[in-house]
Amino acid sequence: MGETILKMQGIQKYFSGVHALRGVDFELRAGEVHALMGENGAGKSTLIKVLCGIHKRDGGSVELFGKNVNFNNIAESQNAGISVIHQELNMMGHLTVAQNMFIGREPKKGIFIDDKKMEADAKKLFDKMGVKIDPSTKLGDLTVGKQQMVEITKAVSRECKLLVLDEPTAALTQPEVEELFKIMNDLRDKGIGMIYISHRMDEINRISDRVTVMRDGEYVDTVNTADVTKDDIVKMMVGRTIMGEQKAASAVPADAPVILDVRNLNAGKEVKNVSFQLRKGEILGFAGLMGAGRTEVARALYGADPKQTGDIFINGKKVNIKIPADAVKNGICYLSEDRKRYGLMLMKSVAENSAIASIDQFISGGWINDKKIKQVSTEYNLKLRTKTPSMDQLLKNLSGGNQQKVIIARWLIKNCDIFIFDEPTRGIDVGAKSEIYTLMEELAQQGKSIIMISSELPEVLRMSDRIIVMCEGRITRELDIADATQEEIMKYATMRD
């Protein structure tokens, strides 16, 4: 690590009276990967937005490359050498890779854009970075991991000296994570300083040099990664120790009734002859690699995607689920892995998002009872400890973990019997994870039945009473939790016909 290239001191930020940042300090050195950690709502994103000029700070100072700066917008921070790779990539899928990389600064031949030079320049950059991507490919045809590589290469082409990566591995496969880390190590060798925001502890230990922890808008501490354990960091983040051991045995009685019985389900190429049962009060984990067909099973069950063949029985009665409304009528709710695309109305309030699935119960005489909606929404969001100034707050202003809680409140109000949680803690910090785990356990104790799809094996082993392992659209193994190990799950997750 080299000299200090960024020094933020005493950063203050207020939003409508809410003290979002309380005297936060942060520094970054050349050639360093500095992890910025904290629970959702801790102030990490706000701090980065202050750095980049999206938000004006209300106090404190920012020194970049030895000079005091106060950016008014992203363009000014980019021109000063800062680039941000956001968790949700803001790119144009209908354009080519090269067009995305050079948009707004295209090489010209006379008055026309020189596409050949643009593609050749892009290829030179990719070769220099060791990335294998065809610049003429339409961006939308690439995986999320490859799109991220395009964004990073674009940042480097702008002579970026400070790179911010916000949850960069949230939607990546393991090979793509390895490729990302290789590129980050190369950038580190070139003296580029990186701020790395992630909730994945194992990644922090692997890739970062130092860790700064924030909690409730305040600076907690900065430590050398090599000097602390995972538990040390968690305790700094949440102010308490969170234990997460594997479940020793199923909590479901052997004679618990079968709530859901799925027989020979087929849906497209991703779901092939899938059969399983779900018992009352059970948490049934679905494990497998990306592309195994787990989400596709959930969507076919919920009526979000059409099924070709197969039968679904609820409490012994055959049901016909063609659309999500049919599933909801039969007591099934689905929390999508892509909550912003399929679950959230970001420009609506917390109360509206909480009540939308049960809107009929709030209508009387043709009028919607807004007062009752707020009352019920408040009750359930208080139970979930959702952090929001009020029920009128727009959902887009809440952190990812709190947005997830609002969706859970929605289905608790609806009083469903079968919950499908698809990647319930993706992009959520350890504190919010712990709260969602506790909630799921409480639901099971109340007799609710849960299907939990997760790519995190420790999560599957901690929460499940029984585990279904899938590979390439088929169930390859069913494991009782007492017999399950990470090695056993991975063996069947890679077992092809």
DSSP secondary structure letters along 260-311: EEEEEEEETTTEEEEEEEEETT-EEEEE--TTSSHHHHHHHHHTSS--SEEE
Q: How far apart are CA 42 and CA 466, in angstroms?
A: 34
pLDDT value at position 479? Answer: 94
Token couple for 40:
């959702």
Q: How far apart are CA 264 and CA 149, in angstroms?
A: 40
The residue among 340, 310, 330, 484 whose CA lies nearest residue 420 is 330
Identity of the residue numbered 106: E
Q: How far apart are CA 415 and CA 328, in angstroms?
A: 10
Q: How far apart are CA 237 and CA 220, in angstroms?
A: 8
Which contacts (CB < 8 Å, 24+ apart) does range 181-188 have?
181/206, 181/207, 182/130, 183/129, 183/130, 183/131, 183/149, 183/152, 184/33, 186/129, 186/130, 187/152, 187/156, 187/163, 188/31, 188/32, 188/33
The residue among 291, 257, 293, 251 whose CA lies nearest residue 273 is 293
pLDDT value at position 466? Answer: 96
Q: Which residues contact 15 (CB under 8 A, 6 or more apart)?
A: none
Domains annotated for the chain, with CATH where assigned, are 4-238 (3.40.50.300), 258-493 (3.40.50.300)
E strand or H helix that includes residue 477 = strand 474-480
Q: Do 34 and 210 contact (CB within 8 A), yes or no?
A: yes
Query: pTM score, two decimals?
Result: 0.59
pLDDT value at position 294? Answer: 93
The residue among 37, 35, 9, 478 whose CA lies nearest residue 288 is 478
Q: Which residues contact 444 (CB under 8 A, 6 or more apart)?
A: 251, 281, 282, 283, 450, 465
The residue among 94, 60, 90, 58 whose CA lies nearest residue 74 is 90
Q: Do 83 and 77 contact (CB within 8 A), yes or no?
A: no
Q: Which stretches of the chain drop beneath a pLDDT of 50?
A: none
The residue among 439, 369, 364, 447 whose CA lies nearest residue 401 is 439
Q: How far apart are CA 352 and CA 339, in angstroms?
A: 16
The residue among 407, 349, 359 whose CA lies nearest residue 380 is 407
**In this structure, what are the phi and psi dihedrals at residue 43, rounded to the nearest 5 degrees?**
115, 5
The residue among 295, 303, 305 whose CA lies nearest residue 422 is 295
**In this structure, what are the phi and psi dihedrals at residue 221, rounded to the nearest 5 degrees?**
-170, 160
Token couple for 66:
């030895």
Task: Summarize pLDDT for 307-333 with one digit per residue, the tens.
Answer: 999 999 999 999 999 999 999 999 999
Q: How far apart are CA 467 and CA 283, in angstroms?
A: 9
Under DSSP, is residue 427 helix (H, G, I), strand (E, B) or coil? Answer: coil
The residue among 209, 210, 149 whose CA lies nearest residue 182 is 149
Beta bridge partners of 479: 467
Q: How far apart are CA 55 and CA 16, in angstroms?
A: 13
